[in-house]
Chains A and B, each alone.
Chain A
């Protein structure tokens, strides 16, 4: 088995601040993802990466940057935190045999962001 580790678990920021979230996986999976989870809205894809140094935008990429430094790690940056923003950011990985739409995702337990 493997595990996805997200740090920090809780993140409190100020309006306008740049904030970075980190994710590590030891599954040796090729593809990694960042999702945003808002209450009552399901999960929305921010960025994903199919290999080291690759980046693909999701439907919610505006206001975010991402970086796939190496196969096992994928970081997300909130470029300018919005006042009163509250959300959970979930990192995931999949083995990537090529058909991303049929792959099982393995999720971390999330980073909870609060912006004051």
Chain B
């Protein structure tokens, strides 16, 4: 089946520090990869998505590269702000894997940014 691994459950940074959130995936074929962000008290919202292997997606200073060779889709931001504090989900979109759920969510990484 399909799977998404986010090893970091929680990341704590100070403002202007570099952010790196690890995400690896397992599937067959050519999936679509997403990052969703969930602010406190809200539902998740799309941060960025990439449909083509070896392409990079970017939004609001965040970027992620769909690396088919290493099956990774790490999220990065050069300089975080306190307003970036949220839970970040790496998500795999695939029609393979035998599940009726076309999207597979990682467990999420909670980012806390201190001023």
A interface residue numbers (CB < 8 A to B) = 4, 40-45, 48, 56-59, 90, 92, 99-110
CB contacts (< 8 Å) of A110 on chain B: these are 43
Which B residue's beta carbon lies closest to that of A61? B100
Task: Choose one: A57, A102, A106; the contact of B100 (CB below 8 Å).
Answer: A57
Interface residues on chain B, size class: 20 to 34
B interface residue numbers (CB < 8 A to A) = 4, 9, 31-32, 34, 36, 41-46, 49, 51, 89, 93-95, 99-103, 105-108
Secondary structure at chain B's binding surface: helix, strand, loop or mixed?
Answer: loop
Q: Which 4 A-B pairs have the closest CB atoms?
A: A107-B43, A101-B93, A42-B105, A101-B102
A107 touches B44 (CB 8 A): yes
Q: Please report the C-alpha to C-alpha distance between residue A22 and residue B58 in the assembled complex, in whole angstroms.
A: 34
Which B residue's beta carbon lies closest to that of A108? B43
Q: Please report the C-alpha to C-alpha distance between residue A44 and residue B4 in the assembled complex, in whole angstroms.
A: 13
Q: Please report the C-alpha to C-alpha distance between residue A43 and residue B103 in the assembled complex, in whole angstroms.
A: 10
Which A residue's beta carbon lies closest to that of B97? A101
Which B residue's beta carbon lies closest to that of A58? B101
Q: Please report the C-alpha to C-alpha distance between residue A48 and residue B42 in the assembled complex, in whole angstroms.
A: 20
A93 to chain B, nearest CB (A): 11
B105 touches A43 (CB 8 A): yes
A102 touches B51 (CB 8 A): yes
Q: Contacts A45-B101, A100-B102, A102-B93; is A40 near B43 (CB within 8 Å)?
A: no
A60 to chain B, nearest CB (A): 9
B55 to chain A, nearest CB (A): 13
Q: Please report the C-alpha to C-alpha distance between residue A69 and residue B101 in the assembled complex, in whole angstroms.
A: 22
A42 touches B89 (CB 8 A): yes
Q: Please report the C-alpha to C-alpha distance between residue A44 and residue B34 in the assembled complex, in whole angstroms.
A: 16
16 A-B Cβ contacts within 8 A?
A: A40-B9, A42-B4, A42-B105, A42-B107, A42-B108, A48-B100, A58-B101, A99-B95, A100-B93, A100-B102, A101-B93, A102-B32, A102-B51, A102-B93, A104-B46, A110-B43
Task: Choose one: B41, B93, B100; the contact of A56 (CB below 8 Å).
Answer: B100
CB contacts (< 8 Å) of A103 on chain B: these are 93
Q: Please report the C-alpha to C-alpha distance between residue A99 and residue B94 in the assembled complex, in whole angstroms.
A: 9
Q: Please report the C-alpha to C-alpha distance between residue A57 and residue B89 in the assembled complex, in whole angstroms.
A: 23
Which A residue's beta carbon lies closest to that of B103? A101
